[in-house]
Amino acid sequence: MLNEIQKAVMEIKSLRDTFERALFAFTEAVDNLKEPLSEEEEAKVSEYIMGAQELISQTASLLVKLEINKEQLASHRCVQTGLTETVHPSTNGNTVARIELPKLPIPEFSGKFWQWDSFWELFNATVHSLPLSDLQKFNYLLRALKGKARESIARFQVTSANYNLAVAHLKEGYGNAQNIITGLHRQLEYWTTRSTQLRDQRKLYDQISAISAQLESKGESLDSPWLLSKILSKFSEPIQRSTLKKEVSLPPNEMWTLQKLMTTLDFVIKQKEEIEQHLPSKKERAKLSQKGSKEAIFEMKKRSPFCFYCDSKDHWSTGCTKITAPKARLEHLKKNNRCI
């Protein structure tokens, strides 16, 4: 099986090289044309080149997977600390251990500065710190990166030697403390709630709590009156009122801090959540209202018709044909002392 994979790798590389040479010759021939191409011809050429580049990219991914499979087959398995571990000699003579990753999700990172710390901590625990080969780690890293973060390391070829270079590049670009702090402050300033519904208020609280905790861990002070007022203004008016009652009740010499604000917000939202649990939901209230309307209509249908104008019991007042003029109806009601 190992020999078959090695043979497949060599054949794919040979075909890839041939294909790349053919693509280069094609693009060179197009550039050297004496007469310009029509719009339709240009579109076809562009489509062909893009398709060829996509195929080359897929080939590179396939080669990485085959190399990983080759390493896996070449290793010997043994049990260590509850995980299946394999040991095999590396090219420099040292022993390289390989373990099968536990069933933990690989975190993702799309290039947002404030998410770098949590991403790297998770990736370090699930991939980077484990005794995998650098080629395997690089493959997991490529899976984890999205968007701008993935594009930022596109210049590094997928090789064992380039893994640590790619990691260093990411740390330099996204691990800058000041950039992370700036991004977190921006998130704290612009984060808003979708609606005044209680579940959205709770979600907003959780988001602000997470961001403020990250900022405080980096030594940022968040107790300025302006910032506390800004945070409070993001919540619904009833929650703001209940929180302000707590603030104004503090002794004159006691400072209103972020911790007190967040503790009070959590308490107020919890109170409202508990009250909401004991009240009928919007759907249940609609059902009760609909039921009441149906019962009222049913009761009306059960009553016998009666006409105020002609005292007849075979039709309602709205259907009276004996006294039809509005003025005559009004005079009749006044004459018989009916309420108008």
- Tens digits of residue pLDDT in 160-198: 889 999 999 999 988 888 888 888 888 888 888 888 899
Q: What is the mean pLDDT of residues 98-121?
A: 76
- Cα 130 to Cα 107, 123, 124, 137, 163: the distances in Å are 15, 10, 8, 9, 14
pLDDT at 82: 41
Q: Is the pLDDT of residue 115 over 90?
A: no
Question: Cα(166)–Cα(245) distance, rounded to whole angstroms?
Answer: 53
CA-wise closest residue to 112 among 124, 104, 120, 101 = 120
Question: 201 falls in which pLDDT band (50, 70, 90)?
Answer: very high
CA-wise closest residue to 120 among 98, 145, 100 = 145
Percent of the chain clearing pLDDT 70 (strictly above): 70
- Tens digits of residue pLDDT in 261-317: 999 999 999 999 998 888 776 665 666 566 555 555 555 555 667 676 677 777 776
Question: 9 falls in which pLDDT band (50, 70, 90)?
Answer: confident
The alpha carbons of the chain give a radius of gyration, in whole angstroms, of 37
